[in-house]
């Protein structure tokens, strides 16, 4: 295996390693990361990884949303002396470029700006490499990158070039590939989409979710809470076919004749890969059998924007409803008029358990469930994730997107069994009557906690008391 | 645009309707033909999941008789091309699908099937 230097975008840092591992699995190659916590510290934009071939570098650069570029790694050091010593030792890696290869040098820093004159000094300090080819800033045959990494200076004011040279590490290598997946974040920008709504998922996260599904040509991927279809587009863009459903047809359709999801999909040239979108309550679903999908990707409702609902438990219809119902039956119209079945709330922790059971039924063996679980930062514990697991389903990634007092976790679960399981019965649990010894996950009653601004129980009580006359 | 692939996966799910509830019968359909990318791997992956007779019969209802009555052992190009067309290129835009057992009818409008049930129809 050879070492490569990856330069990451400093965004969604917890998603970085899961994304690398997913893409490696998708293309079936080995990737080795250091076990040292310092070496995989997500707050640092540089990481050294090991791969078996340059071809694998290119695959990562093509699919990973968080990768800015990847370099063949020549060396690093806490000073230039150390760096140069190590780089000289790697002569066999770069000597073939000495005689006549045209080249360009990039000197850059993270958390700092290196003054022009010192950039020049840095380039000159590599003179011992003795490259004889011409310097070509536009179309060089190779690009050499030298990166200084500085500690963050969040909140500190300072002079422009203050602390120049006080870097933690300096890295050096040869550019192999610029990340070409990152520009997809612009392509899928929600604001430029012909159909979106207030539940739409931001482009970068949708793309990261798509990578967690291992989407590629030949696969079938399902979103049971499809809404405006944000995840369907990147998944289809990566070649997979998509099936979607939602309890509320209006979310998928919008107001024009051509349903919104198809309009948006056309914009990305993937309309033919959206196999179908159907209106139904996922807790009363019409799937004929299980084992259908390679992945399920979804942002389940948690009652903050789009309420978690399921069809009501009232069994008898009153006269008015029955009349409406019959009118609808004899004269079917789009599902927003005139008959809309009543719904009732669906507790998030119940929904999460049901979703995992449903995924175990609907996924093929080895398939993945990728979904967001909103949770309360102060109360969250890792075991919360395990409260929703069942036999045959294993958590393989769990990455936090932090919003302060709350956050949402992108959870990736793999179906590790090829046993056949029955569909879940979605029975209504009496969520209050629970075994007292069991941990109550932080995401339980998320909706209520959200609207109370995540106050502690005592605070809420105090507030209630203060309303008393 | 209910396609036959989707149709082949949907069964009536009214409470108590558990036998002879598939395939749903198309009624008063408006059809559009639209080209889709041919993907042999996708078709081969999906083949084991299909109810073959239901697919052949439903295709016939929509006027396509290109599929053999028995699923062939050998997947030659011509067969895959026909299967591709039947599963992915025939779109039912309007109409409904009726359960052969309980006669519940699921409307299709602007290509979106409405599989919602009323509260007295769910288990
Ligand atoms: C958070 S939104 C998903 C948004 C979607 N990712 C998008 O891009 O717009 C949740 C969706 O779940 C739907 N929903 C709520 N309860 C449902 C249920 N029981 N079955 C199916 N869909 C449901 C809502 O109508 C809503 O569109
Ligand atoms: Zn029926």
Task: Using a CB–CB cutoff of 8 Å, tell me whether B86 touches chain A.
Answer: no
Whether A326 maps to a domain, the answer reads no
Q: Does A444 map to a domain?
A: no
**Residue A270 domain-assigned?**
yes
Q: What is the pLDDT of residue A444?
A: 87
Contact check, Cβ <8 Å, B119/A341: yes
Domain presence at residue A333 = no
Q: Does a structural domain hold residue B33?
A: yes
Q: Say how far apart CA A300 and CA A352 lie, in whole Å.
A: 8
Is A338:A372 a contact under the CB 8 Å cutoff?
Answer: no
Task: State whether B114 and A241 contact (CB < 8 Å).
Answer: no
- Can you name the residues that pair with A105 across neighbouring β-strands? A144
- Per-residue model confidence as pLDDT tens digits over A279-332: 999 999 999 999 999 999 999 997 655 567 777 654 556 666 666 666 655 554
The CB of A301 under 6 Å from ligand 1? The reply is: yes
Same domain, A107 and A247: no
B17: containing domain: 2-112
Q: How many CB atoms lie within 10 A of CB A196?
A: 19
CA of B13 to the centre of ligand 2 (A): 6
Say if A233 falls within a structural domain: yes
- Are A174 and A253 members of one domain? no
Q: Is residue B101 part of a domain?
A: yes
Top residue of A270, A288, A290, A313 to mutate, by most chain B CBs within 10 Å, is A288
| HSE (side-chain half, CA atoms, 13 Å) at A97 | 20
Q: Are residues A151 and A286 in the same domain?
A: no
pLDDT confidence of residue A185: 98
* pLDDT number for residue A469: 45
ipTM: 0.97
Which chain B residues contact residue A289 at CB under 8 A?
Answer: 9, 49
Residue A64 structural domain: 2-178
> pLDDT tens digit string along A105-163?
999 999 999 999 999 999 999 999 999 999 999 999 999 999 999 998 776 766 777 88
- Give the number of domains in chain A: 2
Taking contacts as CB-CB distances below 8 angstroms, the residues of chain A near B116 are: 247, 279-281, 311, 335, 341
Ligand 1 pocket check for A201: Cβ under 6 Å: yes
For residues A408-436, average pLDDT: 84
| Selected residue of B113, B117, B123 to mutate for chain A interface (largest A Cβ count, 10 A) | B113
A335 contacts in B (CB within 8 Å)? 107, 109, 112, 114, 116
Q: What CATH number is associated with residue A37?
A: 3.30.2130.30
Q: Please check whether residues A142 and A271 belong to one and the same domain.
A: no
Residue B51 lies in a domain: yes
Residue whose Cα lies nearest atom 15 of ligand 1: it is A308
Q: Are residues A154 and A217 in the same domain?
A: no
Tokens, residue B41: 């791997």
Q: For residue B5, give every residue at least 6 positions away whose Cβ sits within 8 Å of its Cβ, in sequence order, or none.
A: A275, A276, B46, B87, B88
Nearest to B2 among A245, A258, A276 (CB): A276
Identify the band that residue A336 occupies on the pLDDT scale cut at 50, 70 and 90.
very low
**Neighbouring residues of A413: CB distance < 8 A, sequence distance ≥ 6:** A356, A359, A368, A369, A370, A389, A393, A394, A395, A396
Q: Is residue B118 part of a domain?
A: no
What pLDDT score does A335 carry? 47
Residue A425 forms part of a structural domain: no
Does the predicted TM-score (pTM) go above 0.90? yes
Reference A300, options A367, A224, A362; nearest CA is A224
Instruction: Express each pLDDT in A175-190 by its tens digit.
Output: 999 999 999 999 999 9
CATH of the domain at B66: 2.20.25.10
**What is the structure's pLDDT at A157?**
62
Check whether residue A146 and residue A224 sit in a common domain. no
* Contact list, A428 vs chain B (CB under 8 Å): none
- How many other C-beta atoms lie within 10 A of the C-beta of residue A99? 10
**Whether residue A385 is found in the same domain as residue A296:** yes
Residues A42 and A130 reside in one and the same domain: yes
- Report yes or no on A50 lying in a domain: yes
How far does the CA of residue B8 sit from the closest CA of chain A (Å)? 8
CB-based burial label for B35 (10 Å; 0-12, 13-18, 19+): exposed
Is the domain of A78 the same as that of A166? yes
Angle A442-A445-A447 from CA coordinates, rounded to 5°: 110
Same domain, A73 and A219: no
Whether residue B121 lies inside any domain: the answer is no
Residues A261 and A369 in one domain: yes
CA-CA-CA-CA torsion sign (A88, A92, A97, A98): positive
A64 found inside a domain: yes
User: Which residue pairs, CB below 8 angstroms and at least 24 apart, start in A28-33?
Assistant: A29/A53, A29/A56, A29/A59, A30/A1, A31/A56, A31/A60, A32/A1
Average confidence (pLDDT) over A245-263: 94
DSSP A35: -
Q: pLDDT band at residue A346, thresholds of 50, 70 and 90?
A: confident
pLDDT value at residue A83 = 98
Q: For ligand 1, what atom is nearest to the CA of residue A246?
A: 22
Yes or no, beta carbons of B109 and A333 under 8 Å apart? yes
Question: How many domains does chain B divide into?
Answer: 1
Last residue of a domain, one of A372, A395, A415: A415
Query: Does any ligand 1 atom lie closer than 6 A to the CB of residue A5?
Result: no
CATH code: domain of residue A278: 3.40.50.150
**Whether A304 and A213 share a structural domain:** yes
- pLDDT tens, A195-250? 999 999 999 999 999 999 999 999 999 999 999 999 999 999 999 999 999 999 99
């Amino acid at each position: 295996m050879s070492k490569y230097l990856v330069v990451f975008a400093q965004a969604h840092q917890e998603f970085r390693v899961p994304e690398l591992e997913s893409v490696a699995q998708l293309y079936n190659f080995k990737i080795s990361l250091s076990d040292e916590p310092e070496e995989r510290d997500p707050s640092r934009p540089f990481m050294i990884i090991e791969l078996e071939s340059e071809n694998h570098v290119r695959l990562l650069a093509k699919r990973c949303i968080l990768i800015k570029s990847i370099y063949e790694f020549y060396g690093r050091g806490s000073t230039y002396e150390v760096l140069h010593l190590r780089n000289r030792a790697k002569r066999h890696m770069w000597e073939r470029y000495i005689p006549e290869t045209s080249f360009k040098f990039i000197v850059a820093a993270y958390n700092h700006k290196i003054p022009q004159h010192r950039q020049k000094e840095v380039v000159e300090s590599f003179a011992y490499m003795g490259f004889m080819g011409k310097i070509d800033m536009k179309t060089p045959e190779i690009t050499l990158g030298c990166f200084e990494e500085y500690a963050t200076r969040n909140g500190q004011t300072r002079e422009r070039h203050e602390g120049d040279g006080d870097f933690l590490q300096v890295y050096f290598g040869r550019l192999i590939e610029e990340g070409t997946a990152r520009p997809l974040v612009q392509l899928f920008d929600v604001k430029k989409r012909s159909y979106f709504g207030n539940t739409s998922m931001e482009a970068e996260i949708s793309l990261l979710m798509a990578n967690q599904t291992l989407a590629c040509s030949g696969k079938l991927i399902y979103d049971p809470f499809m809404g405006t279809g944000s995840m369907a587009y990147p998944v289809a863009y990566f070649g997979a076919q998509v099936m979607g459903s939602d309890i509320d047809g209006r979310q998928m359709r919008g107001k024009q004749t051509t349903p919104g999801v198809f309009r948006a999909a056309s914009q990305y040239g993937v309309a033919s890969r959206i196999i179908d979108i159907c209106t139904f309550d996922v807790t009363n679903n019409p799937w004929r059998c299980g084992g259908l999908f390679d992945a399920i990707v979804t942002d389940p409702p948690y009652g903050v924007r789009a309420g978690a609902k399921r069809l009501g438990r009232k069994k008898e219809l009153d006269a008015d409803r029955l009349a409406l119902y019959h009118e609808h039956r004899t004269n079917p119209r789009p599902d927003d008029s005139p008959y809309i079945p009543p719904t009732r709330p669906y507790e998030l922790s119940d929904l999460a358990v049901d979703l995992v059971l449903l995924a175990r039924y609907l996924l093929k063996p080895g398939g993945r469930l990728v979904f967001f679980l909103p949770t309360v930062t102060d109360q969250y514990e890792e075991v919360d994730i395990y409260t929703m697991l069942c036999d045959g389903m294993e958590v393989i990634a769990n990455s936090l997107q932090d919003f302060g007092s709350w956050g949402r976790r992108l959870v990736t679960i793999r179906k590790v069994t090829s046993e056949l399981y029955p569909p879940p019965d979605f029975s209504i649990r009496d969520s209050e009557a629970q075994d007292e010894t069991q941990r109550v996950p932080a995401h339980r009653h998320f909706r209520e906690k959200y609207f109370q601004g995540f106050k502690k129980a005592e605070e809420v009580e105090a507030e209630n008391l203060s309303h008393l006359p | 645009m209910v396609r036959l692939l989707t149709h082949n996966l949907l069964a009536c799910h009214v409470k108590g309707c558990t036998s002879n509830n598939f395939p749903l019968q198309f009624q008063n359909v408006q059809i559009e033909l639209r080209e889709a990318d041919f993907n042999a791997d996708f078709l081969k992956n999906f083949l084991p999941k299909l109810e073959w007779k239901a697919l052949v019969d439903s295709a016939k209802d929509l006027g396509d008789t290109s599929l053999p009555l028995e699923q062939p052992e050998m997947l030659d190009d011509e067969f895959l091309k026909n299967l591709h067309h039947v599963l992915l290129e025939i779109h039912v835009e309007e109409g409904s699908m009726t359960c052969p057992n309980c006669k519940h009818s699921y409307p299709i409008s602007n290509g979106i099937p409405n599989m919602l049930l009323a509260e007295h129809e769910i288990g």
